[in-house]
Structure formats: structure tokens, C-alpha cells
A = this chain, B = another copy of it.
Amino acid sequence: MARQLLLNAFHMNCVGHICHGLWRHPRDRSREYLRQDWWNTLAGTLERGLFDGLFLADIVGTYDVYAGNAEAALAGAVQVPVNDPLLLVPGMAQTTRHLGFGVTVNLSYEAPYLLARRFSTLDHLTEGRIGWNVVTGYLDSAARAMGYERQMAHDQRYDRADEYMEIVHRLWEQSWDSDAVRYDRESGIFTDPAKVRPIDYRGRYYRVEGIHLSEPSPQRSPVIFQAGSSPRGARFAAQHAECIFVMGLSKEAVKQTVERITRELAAQGRRREDVRILAGLTVVVGATSREAEEKYAEYCRYASPEGGLTHFASSTGVDFSRFDLDEPITERKSEANQSALAAFTRKHQGEPWTVRRLLEQMKLGNRNGAFVGTPSEVADEMQSWMVEADVDGFNLVHTVVPECFEEFVDLVLPELQSRGIYKTAYAEGTFREKLLSQRRYFRAR
């Protein structure tokens, strides 16, 4: 049997996620993010399309690097206003049966003891369909909202996150035996105390002593997602992640990223096939090439390259407002910290980057580009990424919602199914069993 591709929808509890400005499109309904029934309808569409999961991004803080304030982000709805993503899950779980939920939570400002309980609660309520996209955050604006001058240094954040993961996995995996709950009405023993034990963690950053508050849930640990792209982040992913999410501008770039991940996994004693790697993917599909191109051109008329630039300024730490349109973007005028700018210039070696060129790239409000074509052309491209870049599947970035997901389900999925690379029915089991054919988290002891 051909390798089956995995598919998540990529969304966020706000209006503008990645394709900035598309909320202006007349058919876009992302404004309805405040309503539970909007999310339930979306989840229903995804389940109709046999999507493995809905991947919810999140950001704590605002994008205020551009011009040194949040005005452009607010005006353009660049991931602000943004609501809590975890609270969307129970409602959607209620109206679906198979769809998984991978939810981004920044661990830096949450007590591990409480976050562990939150995920256990969700794993119970969803009957084993929850995943956690672990992030450490990267915004000074978030740090200031938490009482710090600025965020912790990058690598130190990950050292701290290593401790955090150790704590939450001990709570999820070790504190309660599977048969600890007896629920014995006769003897009056609900839980056998001998089968529950406190963890006693003393690290450099955290100290946690106590039993986990929740009884064992179907998956215990949620499925762990990670998207770290820095060297330290990639090591973190190789140590902890079960699914790794990569964003790349080209198949070649993604191929290199997957190779690097494979090396990092090997350094941790893990194999490439121990994880699932999903690539970000933006699709504009039409019944004919012409229809697809016309739709793409129409979307571009509503997209906001300025919104994309605002977002990208915070991603890189470079305040692009300080540069003239055609002026080479250099360190001199930027307020970026050294590492952010170094990463930025490393990515674009040799090219004279200017704001004009950046804006030209951001036709859909971001730099990722899109596959534009017929179902067959889109399927070709996806298949070639799987074969050549060795990805296991895709995180489908939304353009105009809900039509982008409806069209993908109606047009592209049948094509993928006819090629034998997409399931025709859900498998039974938890999110982890569906994604990884495994019952327990790999580090469970």
C-alpha cells in the first residue's frame, strides 16, 4: 500500500492567521471566530474530509516590532485580537468523533502542574483526541505582559522547557497506575492510594511536588507537536516531539529541514520513522487551471502584504519600517537582536533584501507562497513533496474560510484517494494511534 499522507487543518482563534488581509474577502467568514457554532461547522467539514486533525496556533503577546508599536497589527488584524485556543476544543469534540486537536500552548507562563491537568481534562473530554504543540514563545511583548523586562534568552527558554516536559510527563505517565481507580462501591475505595504516587521534581527552573490531580486519560500524554526551527529548537523537537511541523518556502528547503531533523533524531537515538513530519501548505484549487489562477488573483486583491510584513517583523525582530522601499535591509538600521538578524540574513544569503522585494513575495499576505492549480496538479505537488522532501503530510493553511477547506475536501481529497495516498475511512483509536500507530508516548516509562 502506498504511503498515506496525513492532513491537518491549520487555524487560529482569531481573524488573521497567516494569509493576512483575507478577512476582507467578501466570502470570508473568519470574523465568526467568536462563535462556538462556527468552529463546530468547521470541524464537521474537516471530519467529512477525514482530516486527521485541526491544528490551532496561538500567540501570547502582540506584534509590535514594526514601527515599535502594535498599530499595524491591530489595524490589519494580524493575529490580534486573539482568544484562547484550548477552550474551543470541548465543543468541537462534542460534534465530531474522530477529528484530533493539536493545540498550541506556550509553556513559559503556565504552571506545569495546572497545564498538565488542563490537557488531561481535554484528553478525557475528547476521549483521547488531544495534542499539544509545545512552544516557548518569542515575543518581548509577551514577557512584558508577564512582568519581565524581556523574554528569557532563546536557548535558556529551551533548557527550561526541557525541565517542563520532564515534569508534565511524570505527572501524566508516572503518578497514577492504570488500575489505580477501583471505583469500588462495596468497599468504599474509589482510588487505591498505593497505586498513586507524588512526583518530586527539583530542577534548575522548576520544583514540583505532588500527585497528578487527574486520573489517567486515554492517551495520558497528549500527542506532542513541535515546530522548532532553530538548532536548539530542532534538538528539543528531536527529544520530545512525535509530530514535527515545518514551514518552508520551497520543496528543496523543506527537504533540507527534514534531513536536519533526521540527523537530530539520530543524535537522540531515534529514527526518522519515529516521528511524523508535516509541512505547511497553502492551496488554491479550481476545477481548471484558469479557474484556480483567477481565484488566486482574486484572493491576492484582498490580501495584505503589509500585514505579512508586520508579522514578519516580529518573527525576525527587524523593524522594516526603518528602511526605505529599495534600501538593502542591513543590521545598521535594525533594532533586531543579533541572533534574529543573523538567522534572517543566513536564510537569504547573497540576495540584496529590500522591503519592496519582501512585499512582492507576500502576495497572499505572507512569504510561504501557494500551490495553485487543478486537483490533479495540487495532488501532483503534494505527492512530490512527500517523495522528494520526505514529509508525511501537510498542515493546510487557510485562505478564505470556510471555502478553502470545503473546496479542498470536495476537489482535492477524491484525487488523493484515487491515487491511494489518502484514507477512505478513519481508523479507530486515539489521536496518537491514528497518527503514529502507537498507544503510549514514546518516553513513557
Hey, which bits of chain A sit against chain B, CB under 8 A?
13, 15-16, 21, 23-26, 31, 34-37, 40, 60-62, 69-71, 74-77, 80-84, 86-91, 93-94, 109-111, 113-114, 117-118, 120-122, 124-125, 141-142, 144-147, 176, 181, 183, 185, 188-193, 196, 206-211, 213-215, 304
Q: Are A190's CB and B77's CB within 8 A?
A: yes
* A66 CB, nearest partner CB in chain B, Å: 12
Question: How many angstroms from the CA of A378 to the CA of B40 in the assembled complex?
Answer: 42
Closest-by-CB residue of B relative to A115 is: B84
Q: A81-B181, A83-B121, A211-B70 are in contact. Are A188 and B304 (CB under 8 A)?
A: yes
Q: Are A87's CB and B90's CB within 8 A?
A: yes
Closest-by-CB residue of B relative to A122 is: B87
Question: How many angstroms from the CA of A367 to the CA of B370 in the assembled complex?
Answer: 66
Most chain B beta carbons < 10 A, residue from A24, A25, A71, A142: A24
Q: Are A121's CB and B60's CB within 8 A?
A: no
Closest-by-CB residue of B relative to A109 is: B111
Q: Are A214's CB and B83's CB within 8 A?
A: yes
Closest-by-CB residue of B relative to A171 is: B145
Q: Are A118's CB and B24's CB within 8 A?
A: no
Q: List 23 A-B contacts (CB under 8 A).
A: A13-B121, A23-B183, A34-B215, A36-B90, A36-B93, A62-B210, A70-B211, A74-B193, A77-B190, A80-B191, A80-B213, A81-B214, A82-B214, A83-B124, A87-B90, A87-B122, A88-B90, A90-B90, A91-B91, A94-B94, A109-B113, A109-B114, A142-B210
Q: Are B145's CB and A87's CB within 8 A?
A: no
Q: Are A125's CB and B91's CB within 8 A?
A: yes
* A67 CB, nearest partner CB in chain B, Å: 11
Question: How many angstroms from the CA of A71 to the CA of B21 in the assembled complex?
Answer: 56
Contact partner, A121, options B16, B87, B122, Cβ 8 Å: B87
* A216 CB, nearest partner CB in chain B, Å: 9
* A281 CB, nearest partner CB in chain B, Å: 26
Q: Are B208's CB and A147's CB within 8 A?
A: yes
Question: How many angstroms from the CA of A207 to the CA of B143 in the assembled complex?
Answer: 10
Closest-by-CB residue of B relative to A91 is: B90
Closest-by-CB residue of B relative to A185 is: B24
* A183 CB, nearest partner CB in chain B, Å: 6
Q: Are B83's CB and A117's CB within 8 A?
A: yes
| A-B pairs with lowest CB-CB distance, top 9 | A77-B190, A145-B210, A71-B193, A81-B215, A83-B121, A147-B207, A84-B121, A74-B191, A113-B145
Residues of B within 8 A of A141 (CB): 210
Residues of B within 8 A of A190 (CB): 15-16, 23, 74-77
* A402 CB, nearest partner CB in chain B, Å: 17
Residues of B within 8 A of A191 (CB): 74-75, 77, 80-81
Q: A87-B87, A90-B87, A147-B208 are in contact. Are A125 and B81 (CB under 8 A)?
A: no
Closest-by-CB residue of B relative to A206 is: B147
Residues of B within 8 A of A183 (CB): 23, 31
Q: A111-B146, A146-B208 are in contact. Are A188 and B76 (CB under 8 A)?
A: yes
Q: Are A211's CB and B62's CB within 8 A?
A: yes
Most chain B beta carbons < 10 A, residue from A82, A88, A188: A188
Q: Are B110's CB and A34's CB within 8 A?
A: no
